[in-house]
Amino acid sequence: MEYRIVEILSKGKLNSRYLVKDTAGLFFSIKKPNGTFRIGECFSTETSLDSVNQKWIDSYNKGHYPRKAMMEHLTWYKENVLLDLKKGTYGKSGNKIYSHIFDDPYKNLITDKGYDCQLSETMTSLGKPFREDFRHLNSSQAFAVNFFTPLIHERKLCYLDPCFGNPLVQDCCFEFVLDKAEKTQFDFYSNDIVRGCQCSVEVKYSEKSFGATKSDEKHVQKREEEYKQYMTILSINEVSDSPFYDYYQVWRNLLYTVKNKGQHICFLFPKFRGDLKQTIECIIGKCKEEYRPFFHIIYADDVVNSIIESNSPMRPFYEEFKKKYLDIDVIQ
């Protein structure tokens, strides 16, 4: 029987315990064996396995966040595929050094696959919104730039969803703010200027969750003045403080389909981020039925695989994109 580490239940030199999944899909608990296992590592053992607390299994299935496996893969990609062993610095003083950070943000672009000029133009267009953490391999902004740039150039945004409309008449941009006063910013925006169909996209890659905020005086006032009127229209029932502020970013995004009538709101992330999917579906479930067709979960994997299978000119680029961002050994 083969087992795989799916989660570290407790940490410590003497009391680490692992949640293990076997090839039959059954869960067990195992105390720290000789040496240290990593999440995702496979092994065969005669070491006794313990029955596992059902709460641990439920917690894992409810929202597994595979950050460690992601970071290990990205570091491997940087060192073994790009052959870049130079570590990048982080922090105001630059005294923190990490393997998954590039010394140059342009190294985080997928190059030599046919779209170097277009990617460079995208970086120039970002200007001020260009983020410091773009140098990080797990940067969602870098993920978005790499993901969307060839699709924009080839006018193939329809690979994402039919709601993106006619690819010949689209106006696109990154880091889009529709309401300058309210300031909600979407990672990507597309407007079919003939049909008047607008799509705003929130991109997530390695973030643990969607942005929460505090229910302090400033945000309470903003809820009353900016959001309450739209929440009354959008939600089935009144949303109490905790669900609103805990999922502040999601609600602000969804409200735009009311504020800007008919606007589609899309959430794009890898398929292995099932934890994010559960969050979005839970919030959408609190919205009125008439608005739900305007909300979309788009898996990056599905788009990339469709491009690869279609033998499109974009295929070499997205094969590399898949290798970099999506081919991560994560237990589902």
pLDDT tens for 90-130 read: 877 677 888 999 999 999 999 999 999 999 999 988 876 56
- In the chain, the percentage of residues whose pLDDT exceeds 70 is 88
- Compute the distance between CA of residue 251 and CA of residue 263 in angstroms, rounded to an integer: 14
Q: What is the mean pLDDT of the chain?
A: 86
Q: What is the pLDDT along the chain (332 residues), one digit of tens a residue?
A: 788 777 777 655 555 788 888 888 788 888 765 556 666 677 776 667 888 888 887 777 665 677 878 888 999 999 999 999 999 888 776 778 889 999 999 999 999 999 999 999 999 888 765 677 899 999 999 999 999 999 999 989 989 988 886 666 568 899 998 888 888 899 999 988 767 688 999 999 998 878 888 888 998 999 998 899 999 999 998 887 778 888 899 999 999 999 988 899 999 999 888 778 878 988 999 999 999 999 999 999 999 999 999 989 999 999 999 999 999 865 44
DSSP per residue over 181-223, as a string? Answer: TT--EEEEEEEETTTTEEEEEEE-SS-SSSPP----HHHHHHI
- Compute the distance between CA of residue 23 and CA of residue 50 in angstroms, rounded to an integer: 16
pLDDT of residue 332: 44
Identify how many contiguous H helices and E strands the chain contains and give both numbers: 12, 11
pTM of the shown model: 0.80
pLDDT of residue 91: 75
Residues 330/65, Cβ–Cβ less than 8 Å: no
- Compute the distance between CA of residue 307 and CA of residue 170 in angstroms, rounded to an integer: 20
